[in-house]
Structures are given as structure tokens and as C-alpha cells.
Amino acid sequence: MPEKQRASLMSAGAALMFVAFCANLLLRAKPHIFSSTAHANIVSDAASDDDDSCADTTELAMAMTAWKQTQQRRTAPDSPTLAESAPVGGDIAPARSVADSYASLHSVAVDADANRVFMSDSNRGAIFLYDRTAGDNSSQMASPNRVIRGPGTGMMFVAGISLDPVNREVFAVNNDIGDRMEVFPYDGEGNIKPNRVLSVPHGAWGVSFNRTRQEVAVSIEHPNMVVVYRREARGAEAPLRVLHGPETELADPHGIVVDTDHNEMLVANHGNWAPLTREEEESQGGLKGGHFALPSINIYTGEAQGDAKPIRKIQGPRTQLNWPMGLNLDPVHDEIAVANYGTNSILIFRRNTNGDLAPIRVIKGDRTGILGPMGVAIDTKNDELWVTNYREHSAVVFSRTASGNVAPKRVLRNAPPGTPAVGFGNPGAIAYDSKRGEILVPN
């Protein structure tokens, strides 16, 4: 059996270990749902995935080694204990593991003129390039034309991406690990060094290239900030402008998109806010404490900096905003698309919406194939709308005007159908629920 196929099946088995639960970024797994012997039983003669260039083929071998070692340990006489000798333990293989060997598609960007679609993978730190027409309605996996991935790339927990079609460059920012923006050539492939690297503040999520001003805007979660750099900035170069402060009403910013036609900047906010330091708290009048605000899309002028107020704000119960992630703009039809993770939907607003107004269209429902939407991109040239799913190994393509519970025109799969997405994204803690025999993991 080809290694790739076995790796795929291994991934499916490992992911099945992960009980289907993902809410508020808290994930649970049953430690004993799969015994370690199940690793050996996952291998089957199912159809080959020869096109798969995404899975890490070393994982099955590692799992088998682990299984054998654990079986030996379980049948061996009692080992020395902590009380008897030191140190004990060592290079112990896990009895079981849960990891996703396939990409977790994060953001998406389309260059319609070049017929290219780029997607970032926050799970394995990669950028995938597909043909614009990739995907279909079959169960086949789509093959990327090229993949940028490897230690030389510097990509870690890569999140937002943006394109510069003129200079044929891809901007990518890392969220939470690897505080930098890498810039790759359109035609880059493999374990390459970026064209340039720029240090950015910790917690970058979104990035948007401004072709008119030749600038790059980056949203930063932790300090509630937007930083704007010149296009060719590199190293430790300082930003041209910083948008930060209580009047900005930035609160856990995520997606960002620059509207060059109207010289505006749109930022999606989750609504979480707390002072970053005691000094910041004191500078704002002392005891403030954290708070939860309603999610919002804040719109600023293109030159906004300092503690500038938004010029418009989409916020309120009618908006349906719930964990808004990626944003994109349709300058032709004057619309905004929002990847609304919290309700597995895409919300379309008029560009100049202000206040608590309902979206003009919503793509949502069991036929849409949208599950954990993280990125969204509008292709006005071909009248299409792309969505990357974080909770499923797929991207889905709709007609630009799609609305309601509609099936996508095409599905681009990056894992065999039915392969659950584990959904880990830089997990930082773990707990054991002894009552349910479940392992709890916050992302």
C-alpha cells in the first residue's frame, strides 16, 4: 500500500479519535475511544490518493513505533518509579496521538487575471496555489499546482494572506507563533526563503495590500491594533502608521481589507477587550477591567492612525455577526463579504452599511458545505465567491450572488471526503475530565 494512502487513513483514524465537538475553541477527545491497537487497524485498501501532496507521510510509521513500544511497556514488569531512581521515563513514544496531517485552510486570496487562488494552511505552515477553476463536485481531492512549505520559509502559525498582482508577491502573516510577515514570489515552491521578512507585533491575524498607496496593513489581535507598513518594508522596520487606542474601538481584530477606491480600511472585531498592561490600564484612567463587546466591522479612513475613531461601524444583533474572521470587498458591486465563523455562514453587506443593519444576503445551511469559515474572497471577474473551511478539509466556491441554503458550484478538497479536521491551532493547555474520560483542549 502506498505510504501516502496509509498516511491519509492514519489521519482519518486519528481525527476520528477526536470526538466531534468544537465550540468556543474548546476541543475534547476521549482518551480511550481508540485503543492504540486501532492505529494498526486503520490501514485498508480504500481508493488511493495519489494526488495527495499534503499529508505528512511520516506519521504512520511513528504511530506504529509508538504502538509497539506501548504494548511492550504494558506487558513489561513494573518499571522503576519516581521514588526509586532518577530520572525515569525518557524518550517515550505516545500510546496515542491526535494530530491532523492535512492542511487546515485558513485564508484565501484570488488573482482572477492570473487565474490563481492562494490559500494559507495554519496547521502545517504552508501556502497552497491552485488553479482558479480547481475543485469540482466529486469526492476527489484537488491537487495544488505548488506548495510553499518548510523550515526555510519561516511560516509557522500562518494566518492571513494578501496578493500584490503587479509585483507578483504573496504577503503572509503568522499568528501567535513567529511574529513576522513573510513575502513570497507568486511562483515560489517548496522550502524557499521569502523575498523578504518583516517583524510585526505579536498576534498578527489579517493582512491587506493597498495597491494605491503601496502599503501593507496588518491587524494585531493582542494589543488591539492595526499597523501599516510600506510595501517593501523588511527586517525590524517601523510601521508608517499605528492605529491603537480606546477611541478606535478595536477589540480583538481579525480580518482586514483595504478599500482603495474609497480610501478606507475595514477591520473585523471579535469584541474581546482588556488592557494589555497595568501601565495601559492606568493611562486610560485606571481600573477598567476587560469586557465583551458585540462583534463588529469597523471602517476607518485610509490614513487613520493613533486613537482615531471609526467613521462607520457595522454592529448589533441584526447584523448576525458572530466571530467574524476574514473579510473581502467587492468594489464592482459595492459589497462586503464576511466569513462568519460563529454561525457557519457568509454575510454580505452593502459597503456603506453603518449601524445595526441586516446583511443583504446570507449563505448558510447544510447544503452550503460551509463549516468553520475562516477566509472569504470575491472574484468579480468570474462572478464567484470563495470560502475556506477551517473545520473541514475543503474550500467551497459559490456564485457571487448566492444566497440562502445553496450548494456550492465547486468543492476543493484537500483530504479524502469525510476526513475530520482536528482543528488545533496553537493549543496552549490541556485538562482531563475524569468523569467523562475526556481530554479538554482550549485553542
Partner 1 sequence: MHGIAYDAVHDEIIVPVHLAGAILVFRAGASGEEAPIRVIQGPHTRILRPETVELDLKNNEIVIGEDGGKDVMFFPREANGDVAPLRTIRGPKTGLDEVRGVAVDPIRNLLVVSSRSSTGTTGVFIFNRTDDGDVSPRAIIAGPKSGILRIRQVQVDPEQGKIFVAVKNNVESYRFDSPSPSPWNPDKPGFIGVWNITDNGDVPPRGIIKGPASETVWPAGVALNSKDREVYTIDSVSNGMYSYYMPEFFPPPKH
Restricted to residues 183-212, the positions that interact with partner 1 (CB under 8 A) are 193-194, 196-197
To the nearest whole angstrom, how small is the minimum distance from the Cβ of residue 316 to partner 1? 18
- Give 46 or 276: the residue with its C-beta nearer to partner 1: 276
State which of positions 149-188 bind partner 1 (CB under 8 A). Answer: 151-152, 154, 156, 177-178, 180
How far apart CA 34 and CA 42 sit, in angstroms, is 11
Q: How many CB atoms lie within 10 A of CB 187?
A: 11
- Give 136 or 281: the residue with its C-beta nearer to partner 1: 281
To the nearest whole angstrom, how small is the minimum distance from the Cβ of residue 17 to partner 1? 9
Which has the closest alpha carbon to 342: 3, 7, 20, 22? 22
- Give 351 or 364: the residue with its C-beta nearer to partner 1: 364
State which of positions 59-98 bind partner 1 (CB under 8 A). Answer: 62, 65-66, 69-70, 73-74, 78-83, 86-98
State which of positions 359-418 bind partner 1 (CB under 8 A). Answer: none
To the nearest whole angstrom, how small is the minimum distance from the Cβ of residue 139 to partner 1? 25
Span near partner 1 by CB under 8 A; candidates 3-11, 17-25, 357-365, 372-380: 17-25
How far apart CA 235 and CA 156 sit, in angstroms, is 17
| Residue 25 binding partner 1, by CB under 8 A | yes
State which of positions 211-230 bind partner 1 (CB under 8 A). Answer: 221-222
Q: 139 CB contacts (<8 Å, ≥6 apart)?
A: 413, 416, 417
To the nearest whole angstrom, how small is the minimum distance from the Cβ of residue 222 to partner 1? 7
How far apart CA 153 and CA 409 sit, in angstroms, is 33
C-alpha grid cell, residue 4? 501516502
C-alpha grid cell, residue 271? 469584541
8-state DSSP, 214: T
How far apart CA 371 and CA 373 sit, in angstroms, is 6
- Give 186 or 424: the residue with its C-beta nearer to partner 1: 424
State which of positions 331-350 bind partner 1 (CB under 8 A). Answer: 342
To the nearest whole angstrom, how small is the minimum distance from the Cβ of residue 146 to partner 1? 21
Q: Contacting partner 1 (CB under 8 A), which of 145, 187, 292, 332?
A: 292
| Residue 57 binding partner 1, by CB under 8 A | no
Sign of the CA dihedral with 59 first, then 60, 65, and 66 last? positive
| Residue 272 binding partner 1, by CB under 8 A | yes
State which of positions 230-259 bind partner 1 (CB under 8 A). Answer: 252
To the nearest whole angstrom, how small is the minimum distance from the Cβ of residue 281 to partner 1? 7
- Give 87 or 317: the residue with its C-beta nearer to partner 1: 87
x/- map, 132-151, partner 1, by CB under 8 A? -------------------x
Strand order in the sheet with 169-174: 158-164, 169-174, 180-185, 196-199
- Give 149 or 400: the residue with its C-beta nearer to partner 1: 149
Asked whether the beta carbons of 264 and 301 are under 8 A apart, the reply is yes
To the nearest whole angstrom, how small is the minimum distance from the Cβ of residue 290 to partner 1? 2
Half-sphere exposure of residue 322, counting CA atoms within 13 Å on the CB side?
15
Which has the closest alpha carbon to 25: 303, 437, 429? 429
How far apart CA 120 and CA 103 sit, in angstroms, is 9
Count of residues engaged in binding partner 1, rule: CB under 8 A: 87
**Degrees (nearest 5) of the Cα angle 266, 218, 329?**
35
Which has the closest alpha carbon to 420: 4, 8, 15? 15
